[in-house]
Amino acid sequence: MRVLDRAEALRLVATVSLGRIVFTQHALPAVRPVNHLVEGGDIIVRIHDDGALASLVAPAGVPGLVVAYEADAIDHDTHLGWSVVVTGYAHRLTDAGEVARYAALLRPWVDHPMTGALRIRPDLVTGFRLEAAPARLVPTVPG
């Protein structure tokens, strides 16, 4: 296992379109699969108005609600690949033009109209790559 630096971790998240957002719902942890894109180091996800993610509204004076976002690409057969967790503040985007632009860029993976978007500003980015162990040479015994 090799630890990833922030830049490589965010670059890898940008190579996949699906991840999981972790947030608090009714004072309990909740997880939802969502599609995303990475733009300017931030993670953008689309939401629909009647979904659980639409209720993520920060109190006045708070930069957003703390969420975690996880994305990975791990081969089912070899168990090799990578996993990244981003923790940061999420806030709902309110600019209609910006939301429309993300609507064009992010195709929902469920058949439900997506009417909004969240921007996650990474604070803490951690990740690792699962790599194959180097081949070990076995000494031969003459004889």
pLDDT digits (tens, 9 = 90+) for 86-129: 999 998 888 889 988 988 888 766 666 667 889 999 999 999 99
**Is residue 19 predicted with pLDDT exceeding 70?**
yes
**Is residue 59 predicted with pLDDT exceeding 60?**
no
Residue 11 structure tokens:
């670059």
Residue 91: per-residue pLDDT: 86
Q: Residue 101's CB: how many other CB atoms inside 10 A?
A: 15
Residue 36: per-residue pLDDT: 94
120 within 8 A of 89, measured Cβ to Cβ = yes
Q: Rounded distance, CA 102 to CA 36, Å?
A: 10
Question: What band does 61 get if pLDDT is binned at 50, 70 and 90?
Answer: low
For 19-75, the DSSP string reads EEEEEEETTEEEEEEEEEEEETTEEEEEE-TTSGGGG--PPTT-S-EEEEEEEEEE-
Q: Does domain 2-130 have CATH number 2.30.110.10?
A: yes
Spatial CA neighbour of 121 closest among 82, 74, 67? 67
